[in-house]
Structure 1
Amino acid sequence: MEFVGKSKETIKIKEYAEKIANSDSPILIYGETGTGKEVLVDYIHKVGNRRNRPLVVQNCAAVPANLLESILFGTTKGAFTEATDKKGLFEVADDGIIYLDELNSMPIELQGKILRVLEDGMVRRIGGLTEIKVDVRVIASVNTEPFECVNKGFLRRDLFYRLNVFYLKLPELKDRKEDIKELCEYFIKYYNEKFKKHVKGISNEVVEIFYRYDWPGNIRELKNVLESVMNFKDGGVITIEDVPEHLIVNEKGLAEMIEEFEKSKIAEALSLNDYNISNAAKYLKIPRQTLQYKIKKYGL
């Protein structure tokens, strides 16, 4: 996926990413789940001087803590039962970039070994006696505010300050809604190619609905919504009939909610007064002519 968007926030992040892309210093990224942290890392790799070298990605929350150390640092034959001589991800990423996603999920004791790699560029495989020199740029991300991670003991303070040479914060989609239309165009093109479809775009009405929705799942939620829609649509334009119901319900404005309430109360008054308009008008404390107009308006 490309780092898509033309909002002021996105342009600012892109410009900053391009300025730091050629440095060897570590980067710390903070962003809520679904904001595109891995996409940003891929962009930094693509525009930087390590673009032709490996980009190795590891989600620290995706594997059990007791396996993460061997995955990152490798193993030596005989270190434990069935252990073999095997490179860890830091060795695999030599001359390139390693991206540690959800670093705040990594055990504190293992974070100390990450700090040592940052300080002297040396790794030691589990069970090994020799140290191996690696030239790896480390990019790490957290999905909780960094100082909160430190204060709650999820992130070592010394590791935080070592990583925080360059800091990037990815805003939630609700704070960069100017990017929604371009993101939709990108995902529609992507799923057209993937599903062999011919969808041309989205209607202005759907654009407005998307703009009013808060997207708690961020870009990932938008992508999933469009994937769902395009599984059922072969061509044409995406309209309100194609949009998941929860987006429609959540985007109702105050005027629409007031009208629904008014309609229900008028229906209730008519029922209680055996559909006698004069008595229903007295019950609602409004003129008879006003009630007749509203009955016609709401088709009651």
Structure 2
Amino acid sequence: MRTILIIDDSDGTFAYCREFLSKEFNFHYLRNALNLDNYFKENKIDLILLDRNFQEIPDNELIGPIKDKHNEGIHILRKIRGITDSIPVIMLTSYGDFTSAEQAINLGAYDYLETDMLSGSESLLKNRILNAIRRSNEDPSELIKKFSELGMVGSSPVAIELFKSLEKAALSDEPVLLLGPTGAGKDLAAGTIHKLSPRRNAPFINCNLPERPSSMIESELFGVEKKAATGVDSRRGYFELASGGTLLLNEIGELPIELQAKLLRVIEDKTIYRVGGENPIKADFRLIYATNKNLEKAVGNGFFREDLYYRIKKISIHVPPLSERIEDIPALVYSIIEGWANRTGNERPEISDRAIETLKHRDWPGNIRELKGVVEALIKDSDGIITLGTLANREMRKIPKESAEQRMIIAGYLDGKTLADLERELIEHCHKKYDGDIEKIADSTGISRSKLYDRLRQYNLK
């Protein structure tokens, strides 16, 4: 039987769990965390339920650097994560305490539950506990396979952490904020959350805000009420179209400031008013937001409402750039090729190992979207197999005729030299030619300045 440790200043949760869930789990109880180190040495724990607020214990039982009973649970969570990363923790919070819940997740809590939700919801608590335990013991290969079937490919540690975050977000109905650069796959991540959620059988609506003139965004989101005098017909907006499902507000940082207050009201009561309408319309939907902007900076500059920012970031997930998951490039390339073949009905082309290795060492400022564009262009250039020659010929066409250095080095692809050797030759050649002028070297080689500085240090060039 699984063992659950409850750390709480009151034994109310312990008594509740013992009464309703004792057939499924064995429960232990601690009033404080003073002897937590010894406790873990003597007991095998599968999960921890941790209260946030410890108002009922004296100051001498607090472990925080400052005697802050309201945030003692946060200090205990830090201590737990200093001892072990393997035991999942579910933080118990009071109703509406979103800031503490977000802080707990960022510090390594698996999940959080509002204590008001426990009464009469034994199955909810049981399922959250079982899911957290299952996830902590999950074989990464099963997770990789599961997300591959959903269209998200990768097996790197960064990809696995992303998959875990998305799977965890899908269990909740809270808003999710996806943060990451353009082309990293935020749309796909949002769609995956929807597919894994209880709303999977209802609509998933993607509203890309930058594609719409600011004058039209309000009517697109809220819909339009019929007006006989003007001949305007009624039209449902995205909030209504997403009812029962999920609405992705893509590039939320582009939402005009005057509409942000209206969005905040929608978030709070799930009630909308069509443009020109007077009757409230209830709509049940989940909101996911995506942005490549720094919203904290936008708040500081007055371009984004602070109250809205704190409401939409209850669950924040970083969608990493391709530069943070280079080892996933081969799997992504194969997936892109497979997708092209399925979409077009053509035979799937092969790709050589050396071509794959070359793609791994490229800069990808446009991330997965750019990689997809390049691979599909290579498919069109190939004759059934993508080789280093296919890639070299494509790169040669992009280089001006006067860029003799790059043409000379890229032609070396076909002579069997490794990419690392060719890159070094190119940098050393241009370093000598331009007498160490970084700007000229970067312009001539096409290598980003940050990467160029790393290479110059690596090759002992000053």
Question: Per-residue displacement from partner, 1:199-244 (whole Å, max 9, x unpaired)?
Answer: 44322222221121110110000000011111232413x1112123
Q: Does 1:157 align with 2:297?
A: no
Does the aligned pair in 2 maintain the 1:199–1:234 contact within 8 Å? no
Post-superposition shift, 1:55?
A: 0.5
Out of 173, 178, 185, the residue aligned to residue 24 of structure 1 is 173
Does the aligned pair in 1 maintain the 2:251–2:290 contact within 8 Å? yes
Does the aligned pair in 2 maintain the 1:93–1:136 contact within 8 Å? yes
Percent identity, please: 37
> How many Å separate the matches in 1 of 2:351 and 2:362?
15
Cα distance 1:89–1:261, how it changes in 2: closer, same or farther (>3 A)? closer
Indicate the residue corresponding to 2:324 in structure 1.
Answer: 175
Corresponding letter in the other structure for 1:47: L
> How many Å separate the matches in 2 of 1:92 and 1:214?
40
Out of 220, 240, 253, the residue aligned to residue 388 of structure 2 is 240
Indicate the residue corresponding to 1:255 in structure 2.
Answer: 425
Q: Does 1:185 align with 2:355?
A: no
Q: Which runs of 5+ in 1 are unaligned?
A: 264-300
Corresponding letter in the other structure for 1:207: I
Post-superposition shift, 1:262?
A: 8.5
Does the aligned pair in 2 maintain the 1:198–1:234 contact within 8 Å? no
Corresponding letter in the other structure for 1:40: A
Does the aligned pair in 1 maintain the 2:349–2:379 contact within 8 Å? no
Higher relative contact order (CA 8 A, sep 6+): 1
> How many Å separate the matches in 1 of 2:228 and 2:389?
60
Post-superposition shift, 1:96?
A: 0.6
Indicate the residue corresponding to 1:142 in structure 2.
Answer: 291
Indicate the residue corresponding to 1:99 in structure 2.
Answer: 248
Does the aligned pair in 1 maintain the 2:183–2:370 contact within 8 Å? yes
When normalised by structure 2's length, the TM-score is: 0.53
> How many Å separate the matches in 2 of 1:45 and 1:154?
29
Runs of 4+ aligned structure 1 residues displaced above 4 Å come to 246-252, 259-263
Corresponding letter in the other structure for 2:166: A
Counterparts of 1:36-75 in structure 2, within 5 Å, are 36-75=185-224
Corresponding letter in the other structure for 1:93: A
Aligned pair count? Answer: 262
Give the root-mean-square deviation of aligned CA atoms.
2.3
> How many Å separate the matches in 1 of 2:243 and 2:432?
67
Corresponding letter in the other structure for 1:208: E
> How many Å separate the matches in 2 of 1:81 and 1:218?
47
Question: Per-residue displacement from partner, 1:133-182 (whole Å, max 9, x unpaired)?
Answer: 11111101111122123223332211110001100111110111111011
> How many Å separate the matches in 1 of 2:276 and 2:430?
70
Question: Per-residue displacement from partner, 1:230-270 (whole Å, max 9, x unpaired)?
Answer: 1232413x11121231799596422354368899xxxxxxx
Counterparts of 1:259-270 in structure 2, within 5 Å, are none
Q: Which runs of 5+ in 2 are unaligned?
A: 1-149, 400-405, 411-418, 434-462
Corresponding letter in the other structure for 1:98: L
Secondary structure, in 3 states, of the residue corresponding to 1:75?
coil
Cα distance 1:148–1:262, how it changes in 2: closer, same or farther (>3 A)? closer
Structure 1, 196-205 or 250-259: larger mean CA deviation: 250-259
